[in-house]
Every structure is written in structure tokens, then in C-alpha cells.
């Protein structure tokens, strides 16, 4: 009489299906984490009142020949700081808008920016509208 079992039980473990499940879960969590973006800090911002602030503008212009003007008044470079200071004192809180010719070197325009910044003025560089 033969008492041996006819079918052998295979005790090997196949991990291929387990790795498939792990990779699917990994892809799922990567996609979910990139879709949901929570801010680092939840801040409730106050609502501002609508106001119309009309800032006065002081125009400082330098042309290709390095001639300077403050609000259409041509001044020399030596008198430019005093002219700009008097314009700022007559219009407190005004913004200084610097118009530089495109052929003027960058350094000359930045001298004007620094000059106005030293007087604690708000400075903007004007650009042409194309």
C-alpha cells in the first residue's frame, strides 16, 4: 500500500503580486499628495476698504545727451538733487517716475534711482508702451 500523498504542496511564496499591489498604492499616494495642496499656514486675511488713492507723480527725465529735467524743468546734474528735493517737499508722498532714454547707459539711470531713494522717495522706472 502506497501512503504517500499524490499531489505535492508547493511551499514557495510568490511575491510578484505583492509588489504589484505595493507599486499601485505608491502611485495612488503620489498622485493624491500632489493634487491636495494645503497651505503651510492657514491665515484669515482682513478685507480692505476700497479706496481711491491718487498718488502724485514727479517725473525725472534724462535724454540721450545727459540733460536732466524735473517735471519739465531742465536742470543741470549738479542742481538735480536740490530740484528733486524741492519737488518732493511740495508733493509729500509723491512717486518719482524716472524716464531714461534707451540710449542712456544703465549706470546713469541708476544714479537717478539712488538719488531719489536716498531722499526716501518711492521710485519707479518708466517704460514705453508698445
Convert the pLDDT of each residue in 6-46 to its tens digit.
Answer: 777 777 777 778 888 999 999 998 888 776 666 666 666 66
36 within domain boundaries: no
What is the number of domains present in the chain? 1
pLDDT at 2: 67
12 within domain boundaries: no
Q: Which of 15-19, 108-112, 117-121 has the lowest mean pLDDT?
A: 15-19
Query: Can you state the angle between helices 106-118 and 80-90, rounded to 10 degrees?
Result: 50
32 within domain boundaries: no
Show the domain range for 114. Answer: 57-125
pLDDT at 40: 60
6 within domain boundaries: no
98 within domain boundaries: yes
pLDDT at 24: 92
Quick one: which of 120, 123, 89, 93 has its CA closest to 109? Answer: 123
Say how many Å lie between the first and final Cα of the chain, rounded: 103
pLDDT at 27: 92
Strands 68-70 and 57-62, how do they pair? Answer: antiparallel
34 within domain boundaries: no
111 within domain boundaries: yes
Write the pLDDT tens digit of every residue in 44-100.
666 766 766 657 888 888 888 888 888 888 888 889 889 988 888 888 878 888 888
State the CATH number of the domain containing residue 116: 3.30.420.270
107 within domain boundaries: yes
Q: Provide the whole-model pTM.
A: 0.55
Is the pLDDT at 129 greater than 70? The verdict is: no
Amino acid at each position: 500500500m502506497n501512503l504517500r500523498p499524490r499531489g505535492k504542496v508547493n511551499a514557495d511564496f510568490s511575491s510578484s503580486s505583492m509588489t504589484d499591489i505595493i507599486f499601485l498604492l505608491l502611485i495612488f499616494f503620489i498622485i493624491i499628495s500632489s493634487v491636495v495642496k494645503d497651505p503651510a499656514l492657514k491665515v484669515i486675511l482682513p478685507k480692505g476698504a476700497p479706496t481711491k488713492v491718487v498718488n502724485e507723480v514727479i517725473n525725472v527725465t534724462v535724454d540721450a545727451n545727459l540733460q536732466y529735467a524735473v517735471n519739465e524743468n531742465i536742470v543741470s546734474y549738479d542742481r538735480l538733487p536740490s530740484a528733486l528735493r524741492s519737488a518732493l517737499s511740495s508733493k509729500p508722498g509723491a512717486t518719482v517716475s524716472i524716464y531714461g532714454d534707451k540710449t542712456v547707459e544703465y549706470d546713469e539711470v541708476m544714479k537717478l534711482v539712488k538719488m531719489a531713494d536716498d531722499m526716501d522717495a518711492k521710485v519707479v522706472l518708466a517704460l514705453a508702451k508698445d
